[in-house]
Structure 1
Amino acid sequence: MVEKTGSFVEKSAFAVSEKEAYWYQRRVFLQKAGYRLRPKFHPDFVGPIGDQIAQHPKKHIMDADRIYDGQQVMLKCISKRKFPHEVEIGQLFSTDAMAKNPRNRCIPILDTLDDPYDGDKQIIVMPRLIRFDEPLFDTVGEVVDCFRQLAEGLQFMHDNFVAHRDLSLLNIMQDPSRLFPRGFHPVNYCLNPTNDGLAYCITRTECWPQYHIIDFGLSRRYDPAHGPPHETVVPGASEVTPPEYASGQCNPFPADIYCLGDLFKRHFRAGGHVPLAFLAPIVDAMTQKDPAMRPTIGEVIARFNDVCCRLGSWDLRKPGQMLDWPAWIDQRLRQLKNIFKGRRPLSSQCLLSLSSPKRTSSSSSTALNSRMRTFYTRTPKSAGKPRSLAKLR
Structure 2
Amino acid sequence: MAATRSPSRTPRPSPHHRLSFSDDECDDSSSCASESSIDEDAVNIRVSPNWCAYKDMIASRGFRLDTCKDVKDWYHQYWASQASEGRTVTKDLPGYIRACRSQDENELCRDAGLPDRLFRGTERSTGVKVVIKAVHLNSREYDVIRHLSRPTLRNHPMNHCIPVLDLIEVPKDKLAFIVMEEWPAKLTTHIPTNLGQYLGCLRYCIEHAVFMHAHNIVHLDLSSCNIVTDLMGRYACIDYESSMRFDGIQEPRIRPTRMAEPPPEMERGEASDPYKIDVYGLGMLVLRTMETTGYNVPELNSLIKSMICGQFEQRPSSLQVLLAFNTIVSAMPPNRLTSRTHRP
Report the TM-score, using the length of structure 1 for normalisation.
Answer: 0.61
SS of 2:282's partner is helix
Aligned twin of 1:297:
318
Equivalent residue in structure 2 for 1:252, among 253, 265, 274: 274
Aligned twin of 2:218:
163
Equivalent residue in structure 1 for 2:237, among 213, 224, 230: 213
Tell me, in whole angstroms, the C-alpha distance in 1 between the residues paired with 2:52 and 2:97.
13
Structure 2, gaps ≥5 residues long: 1-47, 77-92, 99-110
Aligned twin of 1:121:
175
Structure 1, residues 32-82: CA drift from partner, whole Å, max 9, x if none? 33211223178xx9x97643445333221111111233222210011346x
Tell me, in whole angstroms, the C-alpha distance in 2 between the residues paired with 1:320 and 1:148.
20
1:112 matches 2:157: no
- Listed as ranges, the matches of 1:220-369 within 5 Å are 220-224=244-248, 226-234=249-257, 237-245=258-266, 246-269=268-291, 275-319=296-340, 321=342
Q: Against the structure 1 CA distance between its residues 320 and 149, is the aligned structure 2 distance closer, same or farther, given a 3 Å change threshold?
A: farther
1:66 matches 2:89: no
One-letter amino acid of the counterpart of residue 22, structure 1: N
1:143 matches 2:198: yes
Structure 1, residues 154-203: CA drift from partner, whole Å, max 9, x if none? 100011111111112222122x2xx3xxxxxxxxxxxxxxxxxxxxxxxx
One-letter amino acid of the counterpart of residue 265, structure 2: E
Deviation at 1:284, TM superposition (A): 1.2
Q: Against the structure 1 CA distance between its residues 274 and 102, is the aligned structure 2 distance closer, same or farther, given a 3 Å change threshold?
A: closer
Deviation at 1:30, TM superposition (A): 2.4
Tell me, in whole angstroms, the C-alpha distance in 2 between the residues paired with 1:98 and 1:75.
21
Structure 1, residues 105-146: CA drift from partner, whole Å, max 9, x if none? 122332122348x71322111111231344312211111101
SS of 1:64's partner is strand
One-letter amino acid of the counterpart of residue 141, structure 2: E
SS of 1:151's partner is helix
Structure 1, gaps ≥5 residues long: 1-19, 180-206, 323-393
Tell me, in whole angstroms, the C-alpha distance in 2 between the residues paired with 1:67 and 1:141.
36
Tell me, in whole angstroms, the C-alpha distance in 2 between the residues paired with 1:21 and 1:90.
19
Structure 1, residues 187-240: CA drift from partner, whole Å, max 9, x if none? xxxxxxxxxxxxxxxxxxxx4x2111122222112135x420011222xx2111
Tell me, in whole angstroms, the C-alpha distance in 2 between the residues paired with 1:78 and 1:172.
20
Tell me, in whole angstroms, the C-alpha distance in 1 between the residues paired with 2:333 and 2:238.
33
Tell me, in whole angstroms, the C-alpha distance in 2 between the residues paired with 1:41 and 1:123.
23
Aligned twin of 2:41:
none
| 8 Å Cα contact 1:268-1:321 kept in structure 2 | no
Tell me, in whole angstroms, the C-alpha distance in 2 between the residues paired with 1:255 and 1:136.
26
One-letter amino acid of the counterpart of residue 321, structure 2: V
Q: Percent identity?
A: 23
Aligned twin of 2:50:
22
Deviation at 1:318, TM superposition (A): 3.1
Tell me, in whole angstroms, the C-alpha distance in 1 between the residues paired with 2:332 and 2:204.
18
| 8 Å Cα contact 1:76-1:125 kept in structure 2 | yes
SS of 1:112's partner is strand
SS of 1:167's partner is coil
Aligned twin of 1:39:
67
Deviation at 1:244, TM superposition (A): 1.2
| 8 Å Cα contact 1:288-1:294 kept in structure 2 | yes
Give runs of ≥4 in structure 1 deviating > 6 Å.
Answer: none
Tell me, in whole angstroms, the C-alpha distance in 2 between the residues paired with 1:273 and 1:31.
44
Q: Against the structure 1 CA distance between its residues 320 and 55, is the aligned structure 2 distance closer, same or farther, given a 3 Å change threshold?
A: farther
| 8 Å Cα contact 1:64-1:72 kept in structure 2 | yes
SS of 1:51's partner is helix
Deviation at 1:104, TM superposition (A): 1.0
SS of 2:152's partner is helix
Q: Let me know the Cα RMSD of the aligned residues.
A: 2.9
Deviation at 1:151, TM superposition (A): 0.7
Q: Against the structure 1 CA distance between its residues 260 and 274, is the aligned structure 2 distance closer, same or farther, given a 3 Å change threshold?
A: closer
Aligned twin of 1:77:
134
Deviation at 1:88, TM superposition (A): 1.8
Deviation at 1:96, TM superposition (A): 1.9
Structure 1, residues 292-347: CA drift from partner, whole Å, max 9, x if none? 1111111111111111111112211334657xxxxxxxxxxxxxxxxxxxxxxxxx
Deviation at 1:274, TM superposition (A): 7.0
